[in-house]
Chain A
Amino acid sequence: MAKQCYFSQNNIKHIDYKDTEILKKFLNPHARLLSRRRTGVSSLNQRKLSLAVKRARYLGLLPYVSR
């Protein structure tokens, strides 16, 4: 069965780059973004998610690469 979007389930309207604990859920062990197929996030939220991750990476809150 299709998994539902994490952000709409938890009623998160804005994906903040400072919420690194949430963003980390969508990264694999190499700190790369998981695909939509893996995350089940809606396409709109996946785009917001990727922007938030990129912002967090720029400010050193998340790594660009890991391991």
Chain B
Amino acid sequence: MVKSTAPEEGTLRIYEAGFLLTPSLPEEKVPEETAKLRDMIAKEGGNIIAEEEPKLRELAYSMDKTVSHKRETFTSAYFGWIKFEIGAEAVAFLKKAFDANPSIVRFLLISTVRENTLASKRPMGSRGDGRRRTEAKMSDEEIEKTIEQLVAE
């Protein structure tokens, strides 16, 4: 999903590749596989900015992929992402390389920004909270007293 706005020679842009690795890959082979992806990016002249190691997770729906004339169905996969800086003209090659990789179930290549775009890891705003917690607090004694008063009435 890379927008084709006339790539200029030599200008670097920020991209992010989110990918799903096949769950048939043993856990210990996963770092090896991501290293391959990193090497691929480096080979095209890219610099890695940020990344997250792939973790096995359940998919929201089952996905099909045809691998060597055989359709495989996936219900879980290792999801990871790499954010990197690369020349706009190199992305097409990278996309082809990702496509050809048999251990990638699916990937998403998007242009993004250098800053961290994840918001969930920092504290959320103080919307609404606090106000509700200022309910009048009563000690047991006070409650007793008010009950007695009410009963007396």
Contacts and interface: CB of A to CB of B under 8 A. Distances in A.
Interface of A: 9-19, 21-22, 55, 57-65
A6 to B, nearest CB: 8
B106 A59 contact: yes
A21 B120 contact: yes
B18 interface: yes
Contact of A9 (B106, B112, B115, B127): B127
Contacts of A9: 125, 127
Is chain A's interface secondary structure helix, strand, loop, or mixed overall?
Answer: loop
A55 B108 contact: yes
Contact of A18 (B113, B115, B118): B118
Contacts of B60: 57, 60-64
25 contacts: A9-B125, A10-B124, A10-B127, A12-B119, A13-B115, A14-B113, A14-B115, A14-B117, A15-B117, A15-B119, A17-B18, A19-B119, A22-B120, A55-B18, A55-B110, A58-B106, A58-B108, A59-B18, A59-B79, A59-B106, A60-B59, A60-B77, A61-B60, A62-B60, A63-B61
B88 interface: no
A3 to B, nearest CB: 10
A50 to B, nearest CB: 14
A28 to B, nearest CB: 15
Contacts of A12: 119
Contacts of A55: 1, 18, 108, 110
Contacts of A64: 60-61
